Amino acid sequence: MESDAVSRTKQSNIFRLKCSVHNYDWGIKGYDSRVARLFALNSGSIIDPDKPYAEFWMGTHDSGPSFLIAATENGGSVDSDSTSLKSWVSENPNVLGDKVVEKWGADIPFLFKVLSVAKPLSIQAHPDKELAKELHMLQPKVYRDANHKPEMALAITEFEALCGFISLEELKDVLHTVPEIVEMIGDADTNRVLLLNDEDDEDDLKSALRLAFTQLMSASKSLISKAISELKRRLNSESEVRPLTAKEALVLQLEKQYPDDVGVIAAFFLNYVKLTPGEALHLGANEPHAYISGECIECMATSDNVIRAGLTPKFRDVQTLCAMLTYKQGFPEILQGVSMNPYITKYVPPFDEFEVDRCVLPGGASVVFPASPGPSIFLVAGGEGTMLHEESHRSDVISEGDVLFVPDEAEINITSEVELLIFRTGVNHKFFDTFMNGK
């Protein structure tokens, strides 16, 4: 039987969440990790200075569920670990809004995260819905759900990533200047790329890139080890007579972290992206990427499907990854966000499931988050203040580490005591615009 405290929380439909953490090896260790600090404040746990803290999850995915924290009569709170956000939303789908339920059922369609990245994540891609269903059916222990996973990363600190394939012109330059790659993929695949130009048929461009990249990623361990050894020796020698390029310096860094890994050389095929705080990039299904370093907000469709092929000790599925990629070329779009008012910037990717607001609120200032037709999750990433829901006359003191679920059609007024940094994720407003237009 549920407590009265949980019942009262349900009536207001705005409540705090106790969220999950993942301690993957690539995470930043101890107190230096924003994930560690947020999780400790959110859960009341103690930070282990020797443990990596990689991802802070907010949402309903089974691999990292959030739980309700119920309000008490004296203004405090009590954990309700028996009541997950997923089960509560499933039993109370009215909090999602009719349009969300009609599209995605009785669940929140987005997964909200904070990442603290000390060393590169794997070279990976996420499947589209059709492939996700197939992989989940064939290997449910590896691919744990049947959903696609478009995502967006919004930099909190300086943030580096490999993302998407470089242009044809850049790839030709790589083949002319990195002999170790030519040795790995062979003269035939090399010449196939070098003979192309931008006016050629797009399918021919993609086919040549696919053959070359697949040959590289499928190389034998002995060939990979030999090529990386030669590459390392050559770059260290050349660094004495010329400055290395940013990509070359990155490759040497990757080699130290993942020796004899094909991902070290595969990095030459991918765009090296550097985001400053407040910039974002988005990734659709079947696009290769690897986060390198820094801290970010990440949002995605509710899925944990990852197909890996390099820079990882985990399970690799090279054949699936090379077959699934779109092989689009060119530098990814960098989102600067759209200013909604002096304090809130909105980031809108081309995916229905989510958008992200970034709010920097100076001490003593107030701002209104307008009501949305779908649910939202708010993360207080810094500072303190109050959150007021006008309709229910509920006021909450909020501070760093707090995570709150807000139902559809709830207008939220926030006032800061000390400068607040808040991130809000909700369903993409363009989805509702399209829905209303009957398209």
Per-residue confidence (pLDDT) for residue 438, from 0 to 100: 56
Per-residue confidence (pLDDT) for residue 12, from 0 to 100: 61
Select which of 308, 316, 358, 424 is catalytic.
Answer: 308
Q: Which of 294, 429, 297 is nearest to 358 (CA)?
A: 297
CA 81/CA 84 separation, integer angstroms: 7
Element (H or E) spanning 184, and its range? helix 179-194
Per-residue confidence (pLDDT) for residue 8, from 0 to 100: 38
Residue type for 314, please? Answer: K
CA 113/CA 389 separation, integer angstroms: 24
CA 211/CA 306 separation, integer angstroms: 22
Show Cβ contacts of residue 76 under 8 Å, excluding neighbours closer than 6 positions.
none
Kindly state the DSSP code that residue 408 receives in the 8-state scheme: T
Per-residue confidence (pLDDT) for residue 292, from 0 to 100: 97
Per-residue confidence (pLDDT) for residue 71, from 0 to 100: 53
Per-residue confidence (pLDDT) for residue 254, from 0 to 100: 96
Per-residue confidence (pLDDT) for residue 143, from 0 to 100: 75
Element (H or E) spanning 9, and its range? helix 4-12
User: What are the Cα distances from residue 186, in Å, to 70, 189, 214, 270?
Assistant: 62, 6, 12, 19
409 CB-contact burial (10 Å; exposed 0-12 / middle 13-18 / buried 19+): middle
- pTM, rounded to two decimals: 0.92
Reported residue count of the chain is 439
308 is an active site residue: yes
- For the record, the structure tokens of 96 come out as 């999602």
Kindly state the DSSP code that residue 267 receives in the 8-state scheme: G
Per-residue confidence (pLDDT) for residue 137, from 0 to 100: 82
Per-residue confidence (pLDDT) for residue 74, from 0 to 100: 38
- For the record, the structure tokens of 73 come out as 């009569």
Q: Which of 306, 376, 391, 309 is nearest to 344 (CA)?
A: 376
**Exposure of 221 in the CB half-sphere (CA atoms within 13 A):** 1
Q: Collapsing DSSP states into helix, strand and coil, what is residue 3?
A: coil
- Tens digit of pLDDT per residue, the chain (439 long)? 344 443 334 346 788 999 999 999 999 999 999 999 999 999 999 999 999 999 999 999 999 999 998 754 334 444 555 799 999 999 999 999 999 999 999 999 999 999 999 999 999 998 887 887 887 788 777 777 767 788 999 999 999 999 999 999 999 999 999 999 999 999 999 999 999 988 888 899 999 999 999 999 999 999 999 999 999 999 999 999 999 999 999 999 999 999 999 999 999 999 999 999 999 999 998 999 999 999 999 999 988 778 888 888 888 899 999 999 999 999 999 999 999 999 999 999 999 999 999 999 999 999 999 999 999 999 999 999 999 877 767 788 999 999 999 999 999 999 999 999 999 999 999 988 875 555 5
